[in-house]
Amino acid sequence: MANNDIKAIMVVGAGQMGAGIAQVSAVAGYKVTLNDISAEAARRGYDGIAANLARSVAKERCTAEEREAALSRIAQSVTLDDAKDCDLVIEAATENVALKREIFKTLDKAAPDHAIFATNTSSVPITELAACTTRPSKVIGMHFMNPVPVMKLVEIIRGLETCEEVREVIADVTTRLGKIPVEVKDSPGFVSNRILLPMLNEAVYCLYEGIGDPEAIDTVMKLGMNHPMGPLALADLIGLDTCLSIMEVLYDGFKDSKYRPCPLLRQYVQAGRLGVKSGRGFYAYERA
């Protein structure tokens, strides 16, 4: 399969990441199916894309006609059976291994034989997900960065069985999306989160141990290390439940105590303080 054989893309998961992937795919000219478990969730993802593109028009990054053309290429879906007409499926569901495994098993039955399966997982081994299908050579990782429309990097991760042709196609698709593909090994957390999440976790430990309050910790990293956003604010943006899931994958994968999730992080997640999406994490936010 060549890059020009990819015409239709399904994105599974219409949350912040999935909607972002659907947006850049539609803008790039692909026919997109935005899938979620409910019509309300799919519609919310679509409405978020429409609002983002409206802001792009206001900032003269695209025209009103380009916005309407991109939106016209997005269909909403509540069943994975809609993968039957897709050439590429990008899974962007919640960072839950069992859930992703079930999605891949269902997609394997629904999608055509030629379809490539990609996962936006931030930490789950690609080889493990590929093993849930009858097409492990066509399963690959496409780890986008948040926010997807802005961030240029996509980590490309081959599983043990992923074939070279699929890697080439996905690298080409990534470039067409306006992103820069970087190939990394199939290891827990890959490169980005193996480095980033322990830093965020250590910032939570600083708060947990009373070394500084959230503002102090974030200001030190912004002014002292020239980071554009402090680690606690960034963790809130990512979602504290997602941060915890990634830390648990790292801890389980390496069995090294340096990846042990901070108890305070776990406590916040148990309390429902998930960050921006819940209205409260290390900081308080107004719900949309």
Between CA 79 and CA 110 the distance in angstroms is 10
Q: How many residues does the chain have?
A: 288
- Structural element, H or E, at residue 31: strand 31-35
- The rounded distance, in Å, linking the Cα atoms of 269 and 235 is 12
Q: How far apart (Å, rounded) are the C-alpha atoms in residues 66 and 56?
A: 10
- CA 215, 220, 223, 227 torsion-angle sign: negative
Interaxial angle between packed helices 240-254 and 263-270, expressed in degrees from 0 to 180 and rounded to the nearest 10: 130
Provide CB contacts within 8 A for 195, sequence distance 6+: none
Residues designated catalytic: 122, 143, 155, 193
Three-class DSSP category at 13: coil
What are residue 87's phi and psi, to 5 degrees?
-95, -25
* Alpha carbon distance 87, 6 (integer Å): 5
Q: Are 159 and 127 in contact (CB under 8 A)?
A: yes
**C-alpha distance from residue 254 to each of 144, 194, 230, 258 (Å):** 23, 11, 27, 9
The distance from CA 47 to its chain's CA centroid, rounded to whole angstroms, is 18
What phi and psi, each to the nearest 5 degrees, are found at residue 128?
-65, -45
The pair of three-digit structure tokens given for residue 248, joined into one six-digit string: 């648990």
Cα separation, 181 vs 166, whole angstroms: 13
